[in-house]
Structure 1
Amino acid sequence: MKASRAPILAALVIVPALLVWALLRVSYSDLPPLPWTAVPTLLLLALGEIVTAAGLRNRIHHKTAAEKARPVDPLAVARMAVLGKASAHAAAVLAGIFGGFMLFLTGELDKSTPRHDFTVSTASAVAALILVGAGLYLEWCCRIPEDPGDRR
């Protein structure tokens, strides 16, 4: 598995944003107001990934408080790396979706419902970008440390 790449993540933000923007031009009036539930959900997921990543990194680098800590199972580390990559990609798509809402609603901020949806979509996009960062951090923490005697 290769590490996540910035151009792929950027495409995962831009393409859904443009699709949602085009779709909202046709059907925004039929939608209910956006709920705030995405913001705490994404932030809690990001917090969980950051805490998991920090603990896993300490175990991989043998920096745990207990000297007799069990070594990290390589399969568990691989699973965490996949989780980090998957959550970064999924959160990038969500950031694009909420970014599409933001793009569409910028011209309609004089009305109360679009202003509310703009605020919710902005907060949700920021929370999704925080989750992207947490996923990338988890993926980075799962890298195998370099062996000092292995330098060429």
Structure 2
Amino acid sequence: MKLKPTRIWDLLANVVIAAVIAWVATRLTYSNFPPISVYASASLYPVAAIEVALAFVIRSRVNDREIGNGTHQLHPITAARAVALAKASAQVGSLAAGVWLGFLCWVLPQRDTLRAAAADSPSAVVGMMAGVALVAAALWLEYCCRAPDDPSDDPATT
């Protein structure tokens, strides 16, 4: 079985489903929510940054053909783990973006009448963008982990 790239439509479906569920949950229980800190909503940015850095390292090693068991080579299992991390992060990021989007869709219209909603709006925007940033970083990492094209086994034609 061949591992396929993450499909954008799957991630968009995650966003939509999570947004609807979060909007309903926020609508029903917002009065019980504590104030949302911008720092809490930004918690996915460091993960995205780490994944981008890892992607550049892996991309460099793959381009230089430094994959193998040697001391200064990237072990193939490490690359496979990075792909697994990227695939999981894309799912988490899309779900987080959807939850923050659903929350934002409820608090934005309420910000003129509820002081708490006005205070929570910036946090929701930061959180939604953090989810999007994680998805982008994860897709970049997944892309950088692709194996170089194998040369064809067909004899060269002359």
- Work out whether the TM-score is over 0.5: yes
Name the residue aligned to 2:38.
36
CA displacement at 1:33 relative to structure 2 = 1.1
Name the residue aligned to 2:25.
23
Superposed counterparts of 1:43-62, under 5 Å: 43-62=45-64
Within the alignment, does 1:141 sit opposite 2:141 as a pair?
Answer: no
Following the alignment from structure 1 to structure 2, what is the Cα–Cα distance between the partners of residues 30 and 39? 18
CA displacement at 1:127 relative to structure 2 = 1.3
Within the alignment, does 1:128 sit opposite 2:131 as a pair?
Answer: yes
2:42–2:126 Cα contact (<8 Å) kept: no
Provide TM-score, normalisation by structure 1. 0.89
CA displacement at 1:71 relative to structure 2 = 2.7
CA displacement at 1:40 relative to structure 2 = 3.7
- Aligned partner letter, 2:18: P
Gap runs ≥5 in structure 1? none
Name the residue aligned to 2:118.
115
Q: For the structure 1 residues 119 and 144, does the alpha-carbon distance in structure 2 shift closer, same or farther, using more than 3 Å as the test?
A: same
CA-based RMSD of the aligned residues comes to 1.9
2:97–2:129 Cα contact (<8 Å) kept: yes
Following the alignment from structure 2 to structure 1, what is the Cα–Cα distance between the partners of residues 108 and 149? 48
1:12–1:89 Cα contact (<8 Å) kept: yes
2:86–2:139 Cα contact (<8 Å) kept: yes
Provide TM-score, normalisation by structure 2. 0.86
CA displacement at 1:128 relative to structure 2 = 1.1
- Aligned partner letter, 1:133: A
Gap runs ≥5 in structure 2? none
CA displacement at 1:7 relative to structure 2 = 0.8
**After alignment, is 30-39 or 8-17 more displaced?**
30-39
CA displacement at 1:69 relative to structure 2 = 6.7
- Aligned partner letter, 1:118: S
- Aligned partner letter, 2:39: T
Following the alignment from structure 1 to structure 2, what is the Cα–Cα distance between the partners of residues 27 and 40? 22
Aligned length: 148
Superposed counterparts of 1:6-21, under 5 Å: 6-21=8-23
CA displacement at 1:112 relative to structure 2 = 2.3
Following the alignment from structure 2 to structure 1, what is the Cα–Cα distance between the partners of residues 117 and 54? 37
